[in-house]
Amino acid sequence: MCTRRNLVAASLAAAVAVSLNAPAAFAQDQKVPVIATFSILGDLVKNVGGDRVEVTTLVGADTDSHVYAPTPADAKRAGAAKVVFINGLGFEGWITRLVKASGTKAPTITVSNGIKTRKMEDDHGHGHKPTDPHAWQSVGNAKIYVANIRDGLIAADPAGRSVYEANASAYLAKLDALEAEVKAVIGEIPADRRRIITSHDAFGYFGAAYGIEFIAPTGVSTEAAVSARDVAKIIAQIRKQKIPAVFMENVTDPRMMEQIAKESGAKIGGRLFSDALSDEKGPAPSYIEMIRNNIHQLASALTS
Ligand SMILES: [Zn+2]
């Protein structure tokens, strides 16, 4: 079947195809370089940008953006970017200085623009309740992020408009399906058990959107120190309100939560992903898998 003549013809055809495709292949190498400040946002930008963009994520998997210290390499990357995507709402306290240091002329797009913001539950003695930056934990808000990313990419690369629009609408459909799944899974948890403790207050938007009460000892940022008195207060609260479970997060030290669980008798639920994705081998390498991981961890701790 496979004669020498066929082989020669095939390799000639392949050679012609390669030379015809060469300019297109070259053009595809010129991806639009963009920055996303943290891994969750990086995944959203990749889904909208697809093959046209090269996304560099500054704060990687399992890393805390609240206390991140940018490197000279980050400034270099930001300097080469066509767009800098940030969460905003005070999440990346270090970004303004980084953008300035990089000398970049690229626009900074705040992807949370247009969401309905909420305040943190507790001021932790600061006298004012700061805006909660963790808006991505509501899938409804993530859809607003995606629309802002699409518009930011179109402004930076108008030739890619149809690609960005198609990618965004395909991804938005996946987020619609995800949100329906979240509501169905949470709906299975008895109403009087939808109350948990997490180590930092990152799930306010999630809780408000889907009807779970999250109580956190640390407040808005992982920077805040927790006193022995705070811990004692939380333990008393768990006992009084019969809170069924406490949860770890991937970006915070688990020891405090282990202590709280031991002393209060609450169950330790699984690990929730709040401010960063896992690496590829972990349970939350993308935004969609992160939300799925979190709802299944919640459901299995609260329904049993
Ligand atoms: Zn956080």
Which pLDDT tens digit goes with each residue over 26-42?
Answer: 455 689 999 999 999 99
Distance (Å) from CA 262 to ligand 1 centroid: 24
Rounded distance, CA 99 to CA 146, Å? 22
pLDDT digits (tens, 9 = 90+) for 139-177: 999 999 999 999 999 999 999 999 999 999 999 999 999
Distance (Å) from CA 173 to ligand 1 centroid: 27
- Parallel, antiparallel, or unpaired for β 267-272 and 53-59? unpaired
Distance (Å) from CA 50 to ligand 1 centroid: 27
Given a cut of 90, whether residue 134 has pLDDT beyond it is yes
Confidence class for position 178, pLDDT limits 50, 70, 90? very high
Distance (Å) from CA 202 to ligand 1 centroid: 5
CA dihedral in degrees (9, 15, 17, 21; nearest 10)?
A: 180
Q: Which of 160, 155, 111 is nearest to 136 (CA)?
A: 111
Please list the alpha-helical segments (H only) found in the chain: 4-29, 39-49, 72-80, 95-102, 139-156, 161-187, 204-210, 228-241, 255-264, 287-303
Q: What share of the chain is helix, strand, coil (3-state, %, to 5)?
A: 50, 15, 35
The average pLDDT across 265-277 equals 91
Q: 37 and 95 in contact (C-beta within 8 Å)?
A: yes
The average pLDDT across 172-197 equals 95
Distance (Å) from CA 24 to ligand 1 centroid: 42
Distance (Å) from CA 12 to ligand 1 centroid: 57
Q: What's the pLDDT score for residue 130? A: 86
Given a cut of 70, whether residue 122 has pLDDT beyond it is no
Compare 289 and 202 and report the one with higher pLDDT: 289
Q: Which residues contact 39 (CB under 8 A, 6 or more apart)?
A: 57, 59, 60, 61, 63, 276, 277
Distance (Å) from CA 127 to ligand 1 centroid: 20
Given a cut of 60, whether residue 7 has pLDDT beyond it is no
Distance (Å) from CA 251 to ligand 1 centroid: 8
Distance (Å) from CA 107 to ligand 1 centroid: 25
Beta bridge partners of 18: none
Please state, in angstroms and as integers, the Cα–Cα distance from residue 194 to each residue in 119, 121, 283, 302, following that order: 21, 17, 23, 7
Distance (Å) from CA 201 to ligand 1 centroid: 7
Distance (Å) from CA 274 to ligand 1 centroid: 7
Rounded distance, CA 114 to CA 106, Å? 21
Distance (Å) from CA 29 to ligand 1 centroid: 36
Q: What pTM, to 2 d.p., does this model score? A: 0.85
Distance (Å) from CA 82 to ligand 1 centroid: 27
Confidence class for position 12, pLDDT limits 50, 70, 90? very low
Distance (Å) from CA 283 to ligand 1 centroid: 19
Distance (Å) from CA 222 to ligand 1 centroid: 6
Distance (Å) from CA 191 to ligand 1 centroid: 26
Percent of the chain with pLDDT over 90: 63
